[in-house]
A and B are shown apart, each in its own frame.
Chain A
Amino acid sequence: QSALTQPRSVSGSPGQSVTISCTGTSSDVGAYKYVSWYQQPPGKAPKLMIYGVSERPSGVPDRFSGSKSGNTASLTISGLLAEDEADYYCCSYAGSYTWVFGGGTKVTVL
């Protein structure tokens, strides 16, 4: 059970869009529609931003969107704001009540 692969960092100017990829295998990301994304600001606990590949919990801005194609899931942040600067982690169900996280991506707002 290896960690999902994410880029170490992405950056964008305020108002721009950034997309974070999350690549797994046919045993995790590719097998289930249970990919979730978490935002972790510096020094804080993570927070659920996307579940079920593309669903947003109540209170999460619609600037955050998720998608999946094959073994790769993606998180897009549109209209980037300074407050979006944080680490972002994908997570996939991997069967038999086990899960795997991605290595994390640092989003920098220029």
Chain B
Amino acid sequence: EVQLVQSGAEVKKPGESLKISCQGFGYSFPSYWIGWVRQMPGKGLEWMGIVYPSDSDTRYSPSFQGQVTISADKSITTAYLQWSSLKASDTAIYYCVRLSGDGYNSYDSWGQGTLVTVSS
């Protein structure tokens, strides 16, 4: 069974750094793109970016380019989303998602979500 298991909830202050993780189980982790999706409180889903663990090829939404860094370590089947300086507006649930390998470009598996709260 394919599973994406995310790290736990975080509470941070503005200006602090943060790295959250997403570990894949039950499939060949290097061979599937992993993306990140933001959901701000009471709002919709926003596509942030995606990484290919095999070679770390990374793409970003223009809205998130330069604001976050997406990476992966295939040796431990884990993808990451990180911030160097958090803002209150980064408060949201962040989901990692697996891009299906069938060529249909859909997200067939979702992590449970990581709640990030940024408050002074």
Contacts and interface: CB of A to CB of B under 8 A. Distances in A.
Interface in B1-57: 33, 35, 37, 44-47, 50
A48 B105 CA distance: 12
Contact of B44 (A36, A45, A96, A102): A102
29 contacts: A1-B61, A3-B46, A32-B105, A34-B104, A36-B106, A40-B45, A45-B112, A45-B113, A46-B45, A48-B107, A48-B108, A51-B105, A51-B106, A51-B108, A52-B104, A89-B44, A91-B107, A96-B59, A97-B33, A97-B50, A98-B60, A98-B61, A99-B47, A99-B50, A100-B47, A101-B46, A101-B47, A104-B44, A104-B45
Contacts, number: 69
Interface string A43-70: 0011110011001010000000000000
B47 A57 contact: no
B62 interface: yes
Interface residues of B, number: 24
Contacts of B104: 34, 36, 51-52, 55
Contacts of B113: 45
Interface core residue of A3, A99, A102 (most chain B CB under 10 Å)? A99
Interface of A: 1, 3, 32, 34, 36, 38, 40, 45-48, 51-52, 55, 57, 87, 89, 91, 93, 96-104
Given A89-B45, A91-B47, 15 more contacts: A3-B44, A34-B104, A36-B107, A40-B45, A45-B110, A46-B45, A47-B110, A48-B108, A51-B105, A52-B106, A55-B104, A97-B33, A99-B47, A99-B50, A99-B105
Contacts of B80: none
Contact of A46 (B61, B95, B105): B95
A57 to B, nearest CB: 7
A13 B92 CA distance: 33
Interface string B80-120: 00000000000000010000100011111011110000000
A51 B111 CA distance: 18
The 5 closest A-B pairs by CB, nearest first: A51-B106, A36-B106, A34-B105, A104-B44, A52-B104
